Amino acid sequence: MHGLSPAPGALALLMTLHGCAATSGREPTPPDAAAQDATAPEATPPPRVVTDTPTFLHGAPTDPWWPGDVHVHATGASNDTGGDSTPSEIARVARDRGLAFVVLTDHSNSTGSDPNTLDEDPALHNRGPEFPFWDEVALLSVEDEFIMVDGNEVSPVTDEPRVVAPRGHIGCLPRDLATFDRGGAFIDRPRGEVTGGQALAQALDRGCFAVVNHPYGLAPWIMYDWTSRAYDALEVWNGGNGFDAADLAAWDAWRCDLLQGTRTTPIAASDNHRVMRAPPGDVLNPALGSPSTSVRAPSLTWPNIIAALSRGDVALHEGESLVLLEGYTAEGQWSAEGPWAWLRVTGRLDPAASPSVLTVARAVACLDPRPASTPPTVDQVAVFSREVDPGEAFDIAVPVDAQDAGVLTAALTAPLPTHYAAFSRALVQMP
Q: Domains of the chain (ranges plus CATH)?
A: 9-62+318-429 (no CATH), 65-316 (3.20.20.140)
Q: Which amino acid is at 199?
A: A
What is the structure's pLDDT at 185? 92
Which of 47-51, 112-116, 249-253, 403-407 has the least mean pLDDT? 112-116
What is the structure's pLDDT at 26? 31
Q: How far is Cα 260 from Cα 265, in angstroms, rounded to an integer?
A: 14
Q: What is the dihedral sign for C-alpha 302, 307, 310, 313?
A: negative
pLDDT 10s digits, 269-323:
999 999 999 999 998 899 999 999 999 999 999 999 999 999 999 999 999 999 9
What is the structure's pLDDT at 401? 94
Minimal CA–CA distance to 414: which of 274, 238, 244, 212?
Answer: 244
Q: How far is Cα 89 from Cα 97, in angstroms, rounded to an integer?
A: 12
The model's confidence at residue 111, banded by pLDDT at 50, 70 and 90, is: low
Sheet containing 233-238, strands listed edge to edge, beginning at the edge strand earlier in sequence: 152-154, 169-174, 208-213, 233-238, 265-269
Distances (CA, A) of 430 to 141, 336, 365, 379: 41, 14, 12, 15
With 0-12 / 13-18 / 19 or more C-beta atoms within 10 angstroms meaning exposed / middle / buried, residue 5 is exposed
Minimal CA–CA distance to 189: which of 122, 104, 103?
Answer: 122
What is the structure's pLDDT at 22? 34
Q: How far is Cα 68 from Cα 315, in angstroms, rounded to an integer?
A: 10
What is the structure's pLDDT at 147? 98
The model's confidence at residue 243, banded by pLDDT at 50, 70 and 90, is: very high
Residue 10 has pLDDT above 70, yes or no: no
Q: Using an 8 Å Cβ cutoff, are 325 and 65 in contact?
A: no
Report the predicted TM-score, pTM, of the whole model to 2 decimal places. 0.90
Which of 38-47, 262-271, 272-281, 319-328 has the least mean pLDDT? 38-47
What is the structure's pLDDT at 431? 76
What is the structure's pLDDT at 77? 87
Q: Find the mean pLDDT for residues 36-57.
A: 71
Name the more confident of 163 and 275.
Answer: 275
What is the structure's pLDDT at 125? 87
pLDDT 10s digits, 183-222:
889 999 988 899 999 999 999 999 999 999 999 998 888 8
SS3 181: coil
Residue 160 has pLDDT above 80, yes or no: no
What is the structure's pLDDT at 19? 36
Residue 356 has pLDDT above 80, yes or no: yes
Q: How far is Cα 356 from Cα 242, in angstroms, rounded to an integer?
A: 14
The model's confidence at residue 161, banded by pLDDT at 50, 70 and 90, is: low
What is the structure's pLDDT at 221? 81
Q: Find the mean pLDDT for residues 250-275.
A: 97
Q: Using an 8 Å Cβ cutoff, are 185 and 126 in contact?
A: yes
Q: How far is Cα 408 from Cα 300, in angstroms, rounded to an integer?
A: 28
Q: Provide the percentage of residues in the chain whose pLDDT is more than 70.
A: 86
Q: Using an 8 Å Cβ cutoff, are 38 and 57 in contact?
A: yes
Q: Find the mean pLDDT for residues 403-431.
A: 96
Angle at 134 between CA 133 and CA 140, to 5 degrees: 80
* DSSP secondary structure of 12-49: GGSPP-S---TTTTPPPPPP-HHHHHTSS--SS---SS
Q: Provide the percentage of residues in the chain whose pLDDT is more than 90.
A: 74
Minimal CA–CA distance to 362: which of 427, 425, 413, 421?
Answer: 427
Locate the DSSP E strands across 127-230. Answer: 147-150, 152-154, 169-174, 208-213
Q: How far is Cα 76 from Cα 99, in angstroms, rounded to an integer?
A: 22
Element (H, E) at 387: strand 377-388
Name the more confident of 282 and 161.
Answer: 282
What is the structure's pLDDT at 163? 62
What is the structure's pLDDT at 42? 55
